[in-house]
Structure 1
Amino acid sequence: MPGHKYITDYPLLIVILVLVAIGIVMVYSASFAIAEEKFDETDYFLKKHVIRACIGLAVMSVLVKIDYRNIRKLSKIGLFCAIVLLVYLLVKRTVTVNGAMRWIDLGLISFQPSELAKFALVFYIADTLDRKQDKLDSFTDGYLPPLIIAAGVAILILVEPDFSSAVIIAIIAFMMLFLGKVRIHHLICTCIAALPIFAMALYSSPYRLKRLLGFLNPGADPLGDNYQINQSLISLGSGGFFGVGIGHSKEKLLYLPEPFTDFIFSILGEEMGFIGTMFILVLFFVILWRGLTIAYRAPDLYGSLLAAGITLSIVIVAFINIGVVCGMLPTTGLPIPFISYGGSSLLLSLGACGVLLNIAKHQKVILIENAKTAK
């Protein structure tokens, strides 16, 4: 096809690159105090994050050139590998953080299988719904197979325990099934059946219950269970409209726990102010807009569902993280995509965006070909 201007969706690409750049700046700003205290090296976390960002961008640049329909052949293999890693995680009981077995230590990064499972499930559901288009009205032949797989993955993640990631996967699977036009009453019945399981998982864990009660009554234990969220709100409030300036946050100086991972948005709000936080929100809304536009214009159902699933996997997590940091949702432990320090989330999110950009490339090419045919 002539014309390099049709290679990709430039607004989406620019937003992704801007978010990654902001993430690099904020990871250094939010982590240098902890890095100096623990490792006597202010750029310890920055160097690791930059390496991961470069690897992720390299993966994205490769995947944007590979036809997404060729990657489709690997959807079942990817999901199988993710499930094997989740089982391995439970059997080996590897890297434990805050009582949760979520990571496998790979040296340069601690890999989180639930992140791989999230995106692998998106590919699998898109593939399954596309292949079973004529059977989606059937509960056993069309609806049940992807439901069983999604439920199985969510349960494996829940056992880690990682309640928030399990809920995210359930939400994404539900929305993809809805977009795939399965019968609405099947979805409603599934939600009703899942409610007791959700309640049991929530109330069976004292840690989760404590988080929920703390969210409902944030002033109850300001120096204990609610310390982190209270410090987060102080950080956001301290930023005012314009912020205190990059590098000048006080909360990151060992006051706010997880200042460069789950709660990096708080430090961003303190240093960049209301304007900075709104700018980040706008960027994620642009991802939502461009991603759903790509899904709408995709050349086939598989591409449409895949684009929607990837987009939702990123923006839902981002909005939940922002909601937690602002005290509107209970603490979850989810990072904000592209900005938080972390290996598996950054690498897989950038890789998934490479696929999304490839779908955009194909839909633009088809629109051009149709216009030429019409002439």
Structure 2
Amino acid sequence: MKNKQAIYEKPIIYVIIATIAIGCLMLFSASSTLAFNKFGNSAFYIKRHIIRLIIGILAFAFAYKLNFKIFKQNAKKLLFLSWFIMLCAYFFNEGSATNRFLIINGKNIITTSDFAKLCLIIFTSQFIENNKSKINDIKILLYKYLPYLCITLLLILFQPDLSSTFTILVLITLILLVAGINIKFLLYPGISGIIFSLLIMKDFQKERFLLWWNGGINQQAENSINALGNGGLKGVGFDKSIIKEGFLPEVHTDFILPIIGEEFGFIGIFFMFILFLSLYSLGINVCKAAPDIFSSMLCLGITLNILVYFLINVCYVVGFIPTTGLAIPFFSYGGSHTLFNLFSLGILLNISNHTNLYKYKAIKYE
């Protein structure tokens, strides 16, 4: 009988291909006007995006062929490396207003928080496997995990990148809850972190938060909702969005969703949900069938990462939460998050493939 795990591999690849292909079409539509006005070339952004996708696909293939156990063996070293890279960004930013990017010779090499996020997921997975029976031991948490988590989040927070810090904290919290940690151990640090974040917010962030807290929505969210309403059920048609004609900033990155909603309506948004929920469902199936706790938690983290970023983008676009500026995986323009998302999915399929081999050998030698 064909292994269930093998059944999931092709659907995952098909969903990834469909998501990338549709994402490219929508990115071209969303960015064409901006690209022409800024560079005189409507295809400027999509060409660069495709180049980055090719690099990401190579990273996907590399991660798929690599023995995933190397991540478990070097989890702490990878986390230390991410700290080093984030610290380097403070010195190699070539006058950038933030320290989020490692910039060398005028080129944005990576967004350092994307690499740190993956390393933190790997480290968390290793910690859970090594301490599964003692996951609720406060001493274990205080000495073996929380310092590493806090240092990573603080390095991201002071870049400054409050949005990524919050989102990564949500992601790690979900992983730990699934692993069986008592919520009380997360409640107090979480509340303390929120209070600390509020204290160090920039003025514009405080204004944005207070506007949301008092039941208001900013101009970006209002225009986004208008665009979604204008799209109706079926949309106005491909490349016919009105809102992208200068009425909404960052239409090729943070606010690509309203363009999709305006051009393809509720049906288009619904199909996006189907894509991301399908990828989540398939990823969870791989997670459940994984051969050990580490690989299971790693699959969970990779799968949740993509879904959480998508859902947070949806929420701030319609005003449910303050604007965060997070990209939609494979739809929004950007090289770093595309590269690391594809690399992560390569690890996911790698684990799936190793699970096949593990089960085959178990059957063969019984």
- Work out the CA distance in 2 between the residues paired with 1:357 and 1:34: 36
1:57 aligned partner, one-letter code: I
1:155-188: per-residue Cα shift (whole Å, max 9, x none)? 1111121111001121222222223334444233
1:129 deviation in Å? 2.2
1:331 aligns with 2:331: no
1:225-274: per-residue Cα shift (whole Å, max 9, x none)? x2222221222111111111111111112221000101011111111111
1:229 aligned partner, one-letter code: A
1:66 deviation in Å? 2.1
What does residue 122 of structure 1 align with?
Answer: 121
2:222 aligned partner, one-letter code: N
Would the aligned equivalents of 2:88 and 2:102 in 1 still touch at CA under 8 Å?
A: no
- Work out the CA distance in 2 between the residues paired with 1:10 and 1:357: 10
What does residue 246 of structure 2 align with?
Answer: 254
The DSSP-based 3-state class of the residue aligned with 2:81 is: helix
What does residue 175 of structure 2 align with?
Answer: 176
Q: Which runs of 5+ in 2 are unaligned?
A: none
- Work out the CA distance in 1 between the residues paired with 2:123 and 2:169: 14
What does residue 215 of structure 1 align with?
Answer: 212
1:44 aligns with 2:41: no
- Work out the CA distance in 1 between the residues paired with 2:207 and 2:154: 21
Would the aligned equivalents of 2:254 and 2:332 in 1 still touch at CA under 8 Å?
A: yes
What does residue 309 of structure 2 align with?
Answer: 317
- 1:221-260 to structure 2, matched below 5 A, reads 226-260=218-252
1:103 aligns with 2:101: yes
2:336 aligned partner, one-letter code: S
Q: Which runs of 5+ in 1 are unaligned?
A: 221-225
Would the aligned equivalents of 1:82 and 1:117 in 2 still touch at CA under 8 Å?
A: yes
1:74-133: per-residue Cα shift (whole Å, max 9, x none)? 43332222111222223455464xx54322235564521011111110011111222233
Would the aligned equivalents of 1:242 and 1:276 in 2 still touch at CA under 8 Å?
A: yes
> TM-score, normalization: structure 2?
0.90
Would the alpha carbon gap of residues 143 and 7 (structure 1) be closer, same or farther in structure 2, given more than 3 Å must change?
Answer: farther
Would the alpha carbon gap of residues 121 and 252 (structure 1) be closer, same or farther in structure 2, given more than 3 Å must change?
Answer: same
- Work out the CA distance in 1 between the residues paired with 2:146 and 2:20: 34
1:311 aligned partner, one-letter code: T
The DSSP-based 3-state class of the residue aligned with 1:274 is: helix
Would the aligned equivalents of 1:6 and 1:365 in 2 still touch at CA under 8 Å?
A: no
2:202 aligned partner, one-letter code: S
- Work out the CA distance in 2 between the residues paired with 1:343 and 1:19: 16
- Work out the CA distance in 1 between the residues paired with 2:21 and 2:74: 31
What does residue 290 of structure 2 align with?
Answer: 298
Would the alpha carbon gap of residues 342 and 195 (structure 1) be closer, same or farther in structure 2, given more than 3 Å must change?
Answer: closer
- Work out the CA distance in 1 between the residues paired with 2:210 and 2:189: 27
Would the alpha carbon gap of residues 35 and 188 (structure 1) be closer, same or farther in structure 2, given more than 3 Å must change?
Answer: closer
- 1:35-114 to structure 2, matched below 5 A, reads 35-94=35-94, 96=96, 100-106=98-104, 109-114=108-113
- Work out the CA distance in 2 between the residues paired with 1:213 and 1:278: 31
Would the aligned equivalents of 2:66 and 2:350 in 1 still touch at CA under 8 Å?
A: yes
> TM-score, normalization: structure 1?
0.88
Comparing 289-298 and 8-17, the one that deviates more: 8-17
- Work out the CA distance in 2 between the residues paired with 1:328 and 1:260: 21
What does residue 193 of structure 2 align with?
Answer: 194
The DSSP-based 3-state class of the residue aligned with 2:102 is: strand
Would the aligned equivalents of 1:89 and 1:103 in 2 still touch at CA under 8 Å?
A: yes
- Work out the CA distance in 1 between the residues paired with 2:300 and 2:273: 19
- Work out the CA distance in 2 between the residues paired with 1:209 and 1:167: 15
- Work out the CA distance in 1 between the residues paired with 2:138 and 2:314: 37
What does residue 340 of structure 1 align with?
Answer: 332
- Work out the CA distance in 2 between the residues paired with 1:205 and 1:156: 17
1:304-334: per-residue Cα shift (whole Å, max 9, x none)? 1101111111111110001111222210010
1:266-307: per-residue Cα shift (whole Å, max 9, x none)? 111111111011111111111221222211111000001101
- Work out the CA distance in 1 between the residues paired with 2:149 and 2:237: 44
Would the aligned equivalents of 2:86 and 2:113 in 1 still touch at CA under 8 Å?
A: yes
- Work out the CA distance in 2 between the residues paired with 1:156 and 1:139: 24
- Work out the CA distance in 1 between the residues paired with 2:182 and 2:242: 52
Would the aligned equivalents of 2:29 and 2:239 in 1 still touch at CA under 8 Å?
A: yes
Would the alpha carbon gap of residues 184 and 327 (structure 1) be closer, same or farther in structure 2, given more than 3 Å must change?
Answer: closer
What does residue 223 of structure 1 align with?
Answer: none
- Work out the CA distance in 1 between the residues paired with 2:346 and 2:41: 33
- Work out the CA distance in 1 between the residues paired with 2:38 and 2:62: 36
Would the alpha carbon gap of residues 50 and 12 (structure 1) be closer, same or farther in structure 2, given more than 3 Å must change?
Answer: same
Aligned-pair identity in percent equals: 32
Which residue among 254, 257, 274 is the counterpart of 2:266?
A: 274
The DSSP-based 3-state class of the residue aligned with 2:99 is: strand
> Between Structure 1 and Structure 2, how many residues are aligned?
363
Would the alpha carbon gap of residues 299 and 243 (structure 1) be closer, same or farther in structure 2, given more than 3 Å must change?
Answer: same
- Work out the CA distance in 2 between the residues paired with 1:329 and 1:138: 34
1:196 deviation in Å? 3.0
2:53 aligned partner, one-letter code: A
